[in-house]
Amino acid sequence: MVSEAGAGHSSGAHIALISWNEIVFLSKTFGRGGDDGRELIIMSDSLDGFVAAQLREHRVPGLSLAISHAGRVVKAQGYGFTDRMEQHPVTPATLFQAASVSKCLTALAVLRLVEQGRLALNEAVYWRLQGWKVPAANAGVAGRVTLRRLLCHNAGFSQHGFPGYAAGEALPTLVEVLNGTAPAKTQAIRLVEVAGRSFPELMRELVLEPLGMTASTFAQPLPERLAAGAALGHGADGQPVPGGAYIYPEMAAAGLWTTAADLACYIMGIQQAYAGHAGAILSAELTREMLTPQAGAYGLGPLVSGTGRALHFHHSGRNKGFDAMLMGMAETGAGVVIMVNANVGPQLLKAILQAGFAERV
Quote the pLDDT of residue 249. Answer: 86
- Residue 321 above 90 pLDDT? yes
Residue pair 97/15 in contact by the 8 Å Cβ criterion = no
- Residue 29 above 60 pLDDT? no
Work out whether strand 9-10 and strand 62-69 pair parallel, antiparallel, or are unpaired: unpaired
- What structural domains does the chain harbor? 9-107+197-360 (3.40.710.10)
Q: In this predicted structure, which of 7-16, 40-49, 250-259, 307-316 has the lowest mean pLDDT?
A: 7-16
Q: Residues 6 or more apart from 235 whose CB is under 8 A from it?
A: 241, 321, 342, 343
Confidence of residue 124 (pLDDT cuts 50, 70, 90): confident
pLDDT digits (tens, 9 = 90+) for 257-291: 999 999 999 999 999 999 999 999 999 999 999 99
Quote the pLDDT of residue 135. Answer: 58
| Count of all residues that appear for the chain in the document | 361
Quote the pLDDT of residue 196. Answer: 58
Q: Which residues pair with 247 in a beta bridge?
A: 165
Predicted TM-score (pTM) of the model is: 0.80
Residue 244: φ, ψ to 5°: 90, -165
Measured CA to CA, the distance from residue 177 to residue 183 in angstroms comes to 8
- Average pLDDT (110-115) is 94
CA angle 51, 316, 16 (to 5 degrees): 100
pLDDT digits (tens, 9 = 90+) for 146-202: 888 788 776 655 455 666 667 777 777 777 777 777 777 666 654 444 455 788 998
| CA nearest to 343, candidates 96, 168, 140 | 96
Average pLDDT of the chain? 79
Confidence of residue 50 (pLDDT cuts 50, 70, 90): confident
Work out whether strand 72-80 and strand 62-69 pair parallel, antiparallel, or are unpaired: antiparallel
